[in-house]
Amino acid sequence: MDENTPRPPDPVQDNGPQLSTGAKIGIGIGVVLAFIIVMVVLAFMLNNPATTESLRDIAIIVLALQTQVILIMLGILIYQLVVLIQMLRDDVKPMMESTQETLNTVKGTAVFVSERVTKPAISASSYITGVGRSLGVLFSLRPRRRSSRSGPNETNPGG
């Protein structure tokens, strides 16, 4: 195999999609930049304690507001779950019971028709067919074939 020919993927070791070299370099640069930003912020915070205290207080207030919003949304979610459960209990359950009753009725109707109509019709048909075949064999009711040869037949007994 020459080096320009792509190799088929190994079915045993499929590691999913691979990152390109450019993506790996971009991730590395992003990590280095994040580290530099953290170091600059820490240096600023150590050199300016009053500003750091103000930023800390603002962060605490923002986190408290976020917590309140999350608790309100959690309450709304719980309310929606309660409404959903009530709907399932009050609306869907009776529909399921009605559907089950309908299915039982259809099943009973099918069994009734099978036992009272279909089986007797099949039995009568088989008896009639049996009697017809028996009579056909006994009395030779089979139609006679007319032959095309010029031998003696019923219309011209002499030939």
The predicted structure's pLDDT at residue 146: 62
Is residue 9 assigned to a domain? no
Predicted structure pTM score:
0.41
Q: Which tens digits make up the pLDDT trace of 114-147?
A: 888 888 888 889 989 988 888 888 887 555 566 5
What residue ranges in the chain does DSSP mark as E strands? Answer: none
Residue 75 belongs to a domain = yes
Q: Give the per-residue pLDDT at 27.
A: 94
Taking the CA atoms of residue 107, residue 113, residue 115 and residue 117 in that order, the dihedral angle to the nearest 10 degrees is -170
- Pick from 8-12, 49-53, 90-94: least confident: 8-12
The domain containing residue 81 runs over which residues?
A: 27-139
On whether residue 15 sits in a domain, the answer given is: no
Domain total in the chain: 1
pLDDT of residue 59: 93
**Do the domain assignments include residue 48?**
yes
Is position 156 within any domain? Answer: no
DSSP string for residues in 26-56: HHHHHHHHHHHHHHHHHHHHHH-HHHHHHHH
